[in-house]
Amino acid sequence: MLKSPLSLGATIGILGDGQLGRMLSQAASRLGFKVVIFGPDKESPAAQVSLASKVAAYTDEAVLARLAESCDVITFEFENVPASSLDYLTGKGAVVAPSSKALRITQDRVLEKSFARDHGIGTVDFYPVDSLDDLYAALRQSGLPALLKTRREGYDGKGQVWIRSLDEAPAAYDSLNGRPSILEAKASFTREISVVAARGWDGQVKTFPIGENHHVGGILSTTLAPANVSPAVSAEAHDIAKAVLEGLDYVGVLAVELFVLDGDALLLNEIAPRVHNSGHWTQDGCWCDQFEQHIRAVAGWPLGDTSARCTIEMTNLLGADILAWPDLSAEPASRLYVYGKDDPRPGRKMGHINRIKSV
């Protein structure tokens, strides 16, 4: 628990050293905070723009202890940080947000969806799978096709496989190497949207306008925001985000990905306990972007203005897409963000561009 708002010049620690940490760090600096990055890579995207970095495994207790000592608040940019590392930091007297409880629930797809249901939020039908027998039993209930995923980790389409006939079950099961899994029924959705929202230590909640997401090959390709959704869908999506934030007793920014069904019912797809790719549009579409909002929330500052200045289309630059920077940087009414990664291997998130769509 943070006793009072962080003062100017306070130090914020960030677990995770990728582009989300980079943009969090820049937002924190803009508010006058100093930033220490904790992550496995030297000269990482986040470390490049931060006062200091500690290069270590997330489980390195000696380095975690030093981080706890040097930071006024510690947060994370990466949902696969071990929850036990957060507990260790808390045990060393550090103020950590979001909490390890929120992280534990959202790290496990079964716990996450169960949490949603317990809070009156719809999800696709789902079944824990710990054996091939479980999988066959689940498939009989889910119908086909259905999606088998690992319960933990996996993102951008990794660690998941579609099952289109019972024959495919054994190979699908084997492909996940016996890891605890979840079978999800197919959602017949018409659109995918997400809500990025924040909650402060004092319980104040603010949500950003809805984004509509388009995935290609399981990876987010574009977000258009504010999305053209009905007031009813928008209101329900915001209510869901609020229920999630409050149910998790969450402090910071999170993203809730939702399926919009025919008839506009909403199902929760996933909770990301961090700033999220589908919120990058806020950098140019809102006065307070998601990165600054997260920093404000964990620092105990007033949450910022989330109203939209204009409609933005955010496009991810994956792998070799970034090599088009000479053309991308010449486009008017747009802003290019490059993450400082060396190797543009296929599918790797190298940057994004925000383009204005309408004022």
In the complex, the residues that contact its own copies under the rule CB under 8 A are: 5, 8-9, 22, 25-26, 29-32, 34, 43, 47-51, 284, 287-288, 296, 301-302, 304-305, 307, 309-310, 322, 325-326, 329-340, 342, 351, 356, 359
Least separation in angstroms between residue 97's CB and its own copies is 18
204-215 in b/e burial notation, b at 16+ Cβ within 10 A? ebbbbbbbbbee
Residue type, 156: D
Q: Which residue, 11 or 269, has its beta carbon nearer to its own copies?
A: 11
In this structure, are residues 231 and 260 in contact, taking their beta carbons and an 8 Å threshold? no
Enter the tokens of residue 28.
Answer: 């924190």
Residue 53: phi and psi, rounded to 5, are -145, 150
Tokens of 221: 């390709």
Asked if 245 contacts 99 with a C-beta cutoff of 8 angstroms, the reply is no
From CA 97, how far away is CA 94, in angstroms rounded?
Answer: 10
Instruction: Find out whether 50 and 25 touch, Cβ atoms under 8 Å.
Output: yes
Looking at residue 253, the DSSP 8-state letter turns out to be E
Least distance in angstroms from the C-beta of 234 to its own copies: 20
Residue 50 vs 222, nearer CB to its own copies:
50
Best CA proximity match to 228, nearest among 244, 209, 200, 246: 209
* Residue 225 · residue 212 · CB < 8 Å: yes
- Spatial distance between the Cα atoms of 249 and 252, rounded to a whole number of angstroms: 10
Question: 136-145 burial string, b = 16+ CB within 10 Å, else e?
Answer: eebbeebeee
Q: CA dist 146 to 140, 141, 313, Å? A: 10, 10, 31
